[in-house]
Amino acid sequence: MEQVHISRRQLFMLTFLFIVGSAFILLPGPFIAAAKQDAWLIPLWGAVWGILIASLWLYLMRLHPGLSIIQICRSVAGKTVGSVLALLFIWFFLYTSVWITRNISYVQLTLMPRTPLSVFHIMFLLIAYHAVIKGFEGIARMGELIMPLFLLFVMFVVLPLLKEWDWEQFQPVMQLDVWSTIKKTNTFFSFPFLEAVCFTMIIPFVKKKASLPFLAGIGLGGVFLSILIFFIIGIMGISRPSHLLFPIYTLATEVEIARFIEHIEVVLFVVYLGALYIQLSILYYCTVAGLCQLLKINNRAVVGFPFILIISGLALTYTDNIVIDIEWTDKYSFVHSSLYGVFLPILLILLTWLKAYRRKVRGGSK
């Protein structure tokens, strides 16, 4: 396994950016449409779910200290079955990379509609490929640079519009049908929280205890999304953002400071692209490093380059209709991601217990 060291602070920042990267643009509108004035509660219970599932992954990692999820599969399930399980995880990392690459097209749709999608895809994938072959420490340092800028510019969009705040937008309070809302928004449990299973490839790089910064990144990511939706409701109300694909983008277009600072939405999308870069680099790295670990290949550059074409090509197969993309995600995302984020880790834990039990029985019979 690659000899890399990242700090607990870097792990926290990477986790936070991974959780909020696409979600702060894509999720507020559907959440407000589903839960109305109480939509800000959804990220909070999503964060609780994310912390519980992440605790499951951390327990698995403690059972196999220093090993990535790919190495754990081979260790507990044997060469053949373990390789199949490892390939499933690699496929999930690849599939999620494709989804993140596809999210870049929203910038093309909004700001540069005449630019071919493949240009955006290849540009970002080349940057991510360079980061991957140079090592994960560079990605971690980039996260330290992007996170404060991300928070600064999101605040720069929201704070000038607080003069439009209206507490009446939250009336009536606590009229939420919890079970119905969970069914409508169950995609939030998979995106972004179950996708964070990719950090099981990264946690071994943290030499000290990684549990607290990892869980804090997930929890505070959910809190950030909750606060953002709270602000959107207070400023825009319910009806308007529930009919918008990107409410935070619409807010940014309305910011005007001192009558000459305008078009903040461009800056917002630059920050959005920075967060997407972190997400894509992490997933790209996990895909390439996972395949290298499985096949025992040391040269990541050779393995990683073909994925530029693979990911870009798969991203172009998605429909151009964003509404259809969102409907597919609502129906199938939770079930699909649960296989990799919940069921396979539980299976690996059970196999670990079984292997330990057999070892104990054999030791006692001697």
Q: What is the CATH number of the domain that holds 120?
A: 1.20.1740.10
275/225 Cα distance (integer angstroms): 14
83/331 Cα distance (integer angstroms): 29
Predicted local distance difference test score (pLDDT) of residue 313: 87
Q: Each residue of 223-247: pLDDT tens digit?
A: 999 999 999 999 888 888 888 878 8
- Percent residues over pLDDT 90 in the chain: 40
Q: How confident is the model at residue 112 (pLDDT cuts 50, 70, 90)?
A: confident
Find out whether 160 and 257 touch, Cβ atoms under 8 Å: yes
| Residue 78: inside a domain | yes
- Domain interval for residue 118: 8-321
Size (the chain), residues: 366
- Percent residues over pLDDT 70 in the chain: 91
Mean residue pLDDT across the chain: 86
| Residue 129: inside a domain | yes
Q: How confident is the model at residue 1 (pLDDT cuts 50, 70, 90)?
A: low
Domain count, the chain: 1
Q: How confident is the model at residue 257 (pLDDT cuts 50, 70, 90)?
A: low
Q: Each residue of 265-286: pLDDT tens digit?
A: 777 778 888 888 999 999 999 9
Predicted local distance difference test score (pLDDT) of residue 46: 87
Q: How far is CA 86 from CA 72, 81, 188, 199, 303, in A?
A: 9, 9, 25, 14, 16
Instruction: Please state the pTM of the whole predicted model.
Output: 0.92
| Residue 1: inside a domain | no
Beta partners for 261?
Answer: 257
Q: How confident is the model at residue 103 (pLDDT cuts 50, 70, 90)?
A: confident
Predicted local distance difference test score (pLDDT) of residue 219: 94
Residue 202 has pLDDT above 90, yes or no: yes
| Residue 130: inside a domain | yes
Predicted local distance difference test score (pLDDT) of residue 54: 95
304/42 Cα distance (integer angstroms): 37
Which of the residue ranges 79-83, 96-100, 158-162 would you say has the lowest mean pLDDT? 158-162
304/66 Cα distance (integer angstroms): 23
Residue 334 has pLDDT above 80, yes or no: yes
106/112 Cα distance (integer angstroms): 9
Predicted local distance difference test score (pLDDT) of residue 248: 84
More confident residue, 193 or 365: 193
Highest-confidence range of 25-34, 126-135, 281-290, by mean pLDDT? 281-290
| Residue 224: inside a domain | yes
Q: Each residue of 37-88: pLDDT tens digit?
A: 888 888 988 899 999 999 999 999 999 998 999 999 999 998 899 999 999 9
Predicted local distance difference test score (pLDDT) of residue 55: 95
Phi first, then psi: give them for residue 45, nearest 5 degrees. -75, -25
First and final C-alpha spacing in the chain = 35
Residue bearing tokens 């920050």: 271
152/255 Cα distance (integer angstroms): 15
Find out whether 55 and 219 touch, Cβ atoms under 8 Å: no
| Residue 357: inside a domain | no
| Residue 332: inside a domain | no
| Residue 310: inside a domain | yes
Predicted local distance difference test score (pLDDT) of residue 366: 52
Predicted local distance difference test score (pLDDT) of residue 259: 64
The pLDDT of 180-201, averaged and rounded, is 83
Residue 263 has pLDDT above 90, yes or no: no
Predicted local distance difference test score (pLDDT) of residue 364: 61
Which of the residue ranges 166-180, 245-259, 290-304, 312-326 would you say has the lowest mean pLDDT? 312-326
More confident residue, 217 or 247: 217
Q: What is the DSSP string of 278-304?
A: HHHHHHHHHHHHHHHHHHT---HHHHH
